[in-house]
Structure 1
Amino acid sequence: MGNLLNLFYKEPPPPMVLVPPLFDFPPLAARIRMMESSYDMLFGKLALKCLFEDYYEEARHFSTRIMLKPMDDPNVDLIATVNGPLNHKPDENIVGNALFRWQRDVDDPNTFMDLFVSNSEPVLRMRSCVYYPGSGFGAFGTFPLLTNKKRVNSEDYGVMGLRYGSENLSVGATLLPFAYKSPRTAWLVSRMGRLTAGVQYIPTIEKDGADYKDLKNWSCAIGYGLGSSSPLSPSFNFCLELACSSQLIASFYQHVVVQRRVKNPFEDGVVGITNYIDFGFELQTRVDKAESANTGQDSTFQIAASWQANKNFLFKGKVGPLSSSIALAFKSWWKPSFTFGLSAVRDRRTATTGFGFGLRVEDLREARYQRADPNYVMLTPTKEHLAEGILWKTGQRPMLQSDVDFGNFDGLPKELRPIEKIL
């Protein structure tokens, strides 16, 4: 009799939590990070740049971006952008760019080559980067092939660079191959537990002799960070930087992962959804008061926050002494996906408000909702619930909070894994 009842009675699935993909993770800037100074990518700088700039369109301007990848060859992709004013003016042009990229491995963006074409400067540019994870050494270069203007500076002929990177150390330099000068840039960054410290050399003041002795060509920073770069892990980063021996920059960035309860009438057992909340603050102030003549520009700050409510809606806002902005983005995860953004900018100097629009079409990511076990929400989990969660829908193991806490991201899609730990 009991076996007969089991045929008609089906136990409800255990409570589960939806985990949406991030709108843009990893960020596109991370694809060329092996060509950039680690000093400019660490200390929360990449995360703060995305928080302060992404989806904030310039007032009374529009931007479109199309990112496509062929089905038969996932190692190549194309990104095309068109930006311009909503009301065309004689002194403002519509800028169009296209970037064709090839990378050696779909899951390894550190070895690649791309071609950039534009109706601005330069017209045609080639970049290439090779990195060997086994030894930690890499080489890269940027070469303008065609340009509208006459080549005057050494940089107009190209830039080459060498680097070494490991989990705890990054050192590198960029050189001008057609100029007998000191390095164009040089950096050294080291990580010791939760502390990260680094120095960078950029010869902004050129003069006869060894300009590396001038402290204005040097910058140094120290940062304290918690958590990983995975969207599923809360993280915090605080940084103090002395830039060019003249400007003190203090910043912090925090990524918060929270769950809120939901009632989904279309899916049984879904009791919650994961939200991503980001905060950022940056303060810049001059420390060489004796040489600063304009006191109005001595200090500035900006603060921003973003909230991703689900996989479709993103809300952002930022405030500064001269302007404030808000942005709303809607993303449809079709194939290809479409993202529409609307932003409003309030300029306090002119007491005017302007709107900007953005449209993105993307076929690079295949992100989707994931499911987490009951430990992922504010429930009282039991061993029975945990066992049901693992056995529910054979072959689909839900992500477990314990795996995320211990840094085990192997079972997750790459959109939810942290960026590689190479400095």
Structure 2
Amino acid sequence: MTEQDRYKKMDISVLYVEDEPAAREKTARMLKREVRTIYLAEDGVEGLEIFKRHNPDIVITDIKMPRMDGLDMTRAIKEINKLTPVIVTTAHDDTAFFLKSIEIGIDRYVLKPIDQSLLTETLVEFAETIRRTEELRQKNKLLEEYKRAVDVSSILCKTDTGWRITYANDAFCGISGFTCAELTGKEYLFVIKHDKQEIMLRDMRSNLESNNIWKGIIEHRRKDDTSCFIDLTALPILDADDKVVEFIYIGNDVTELIDLNSRLKKLSDTDTLTQAYNRMAFNNIIETEMQRAKRYKTPLSLILFDIDNFKKINDNFGHLAGDEALKRLACIVSATIRNVDILVRWGGEEFVVIAPETNLSAANEAAERLREAIEGSDFDGIGSVTSSFGVSQFREDDHPGALIKRADEALYKAKEKGKNRVELEQ
């Protein structure tokens, strides 16, 4: 970044809602130096009206305010535009607040008194995400124009009811690198990176076998073993007696778009220290997994855990050593869990593993494997580290907060019983 760029205002608009005049004035002065446009409000009612009128790029809000608090205002804003980033300035650290924040979709927290340099860094990060999102929107628009201008069947493949390829057109062969002769007779799985797409492929097959159309983006395998992504529509072909005789797959190459989207999602969804998913990503992932568990009536479990006595590590070895311990822990867990499991850094030294198609008993065994792997690993410069675990299983009437709460209560019980152990929900 050049000196000139450093003092160039971010090309974003910010709504700042704060009922305390001194705090509002101090932070507003900083914001006026950093961003193109700032809107100020004294409470949630005024803030919501300004949001409806001006649709700012980012919202920064206090929580406790007269007439309408910051969380209720955020809920209303997310109903208007769920993509608007909301930063909450708070002195709260209680579980109820964070559970409500998860439900609403708060994007970031900044503790009071506000560290202005931290707030600026957060705005820079969101400004970059907004810029990239706009780039993605423009590319999406171009892609739609492209699709409209070309034949929708430019990439086409057919299989029989046994999922064996019977035909692939030139465009399909061109993107995959295989000839039609090389593909004919092979199972469709032959050209799909199926090891990480088991659930999606099962969903596709289930729809097709039920005579339904399926749409989605599938990662395909090229002949040189690199990947390409096809925005695919798969549909059953019926004969005069409504019997399925074959399946047809029509798609477009969206590899460039997916690459861009992956970089954007990595920027917004990844914890920079541990490379695990962050809390913002958790909200979307858990909703998707809960819906899938309901639809297919499959189990879903949550494993919440943290490093025991983490404060002592920071106090005795320093915060850099603490950071290295968190990174080491994330590596150990990532190497131990399944491909379909999802690791999230919940905050501080706390982590969550989302375990699809896993009941409470299996999740208990998985948590025990993690506990043993962590305890049996060497943490450079620190020595041995242990962790405590709380495990909960999704119930049909659950919302994300309830699932997390039961895992948190189980984790608390593990701490009370001496740490370095696994406890299950009640």
TM more than 0.5: no
TM-score, scaled relative to structure 2: 0.20
- Greater length-normalized contact order (CA 8 Å, ≥ 6 residues apart): 1
Structure number with higher strand proportion: 1
Structure number with higher helix proportion: 2
